[in-house]
Amino acid sequence: MKTTLTPQQIENYRRDGFVVHPGFLSAEEVKELKTDVREGEPYVHSQSTHSHSSKKFGRSRVPWLSGTASWSYFAATQYILGIRPEQAGLRLDPCIPAAWPGFTVTRQFRDKKLKITVENPNGIQKGVAKLVLNGQELPGNLIPVEALKPVNKIQVVMG
């Protein structure tokens, strides 16, 4: 297993929020970790996976029961897509890869329907230049609860 990061990989991580680590696992190690070894679905988060020191190396246990799937959803929706409910309203603060041109989300928030469109015209990773709720521009990146209608169209322009 190769574990040293280069200065370029560290810079990429700081810029992009993730790092590609070629050769992290050898072809043999990857082969051992495939589904037949894990004994579970390849898309499932498991509570534990046996380490190199175990006779059952690579096998995963307690799939679906770890809470990891719900935490992954929480992290993705609230801190990558940046759609965070707060006491005062809904904060929109996306933190996405620069290569993403944007995304759309439809969700419910306090019995209101929201269609959210995030645009990233300049290919940045964080920052809201404009927030528009039902055709009206709002300051900052928080939509007050009292400003919401039963059905809402929200536009976020990153910048």
The domain of 23 spans 7-63
**Cβ atoms within 10 Å, residue 96:** 20
Residue at which a domain ends, from 63, 78, 110: 63
Among 63, 85, 111, identify where a domain stops. 63
pLDDT of residue 144 exceeding 80, the answer is yes
> Does residue 1 sit within a domain?
no
What is the pLDDT at residue 28?
73
pLDDT digits (tens, 9 = 90+) for 9-27: 888 777 777 777 766 667 7
Residue 154 has pLDDT above 60, yes or no: yes
- Phi, psi torsion values for 78, nearest 5 degrees: -90, -25
Residue 102: inside a domain: yes
In this predicted structure, the answer to whether residue 95 has a pLDDT above a threshold of 80 is yes
Give the pLDDT score at 75.
Answer: 85
pLDDT for residue 1 is more than 70? no
What CA dihedral angle connects 119, 116, 147 and 157, to 10 degrees? 0
On whether residue 143 sits in a domain, the answer given is yes
| Local confidence band at 131 (pLDDT 50, 70, 90 cut-offs) | very high
Strand boundaries in 23-148, DSSP class E: 46-49, 60-63, 83-86, 89-92, 102-109, 112-119, 128-133, 136-138, 142-144
Choose between 35 and 103: higher pLDDT: 103
* Pair 124, 101 in one domain: yes
2 within domain boundaries: no
**Do 128 and 85 sit in the same domain of this protein?**
yes
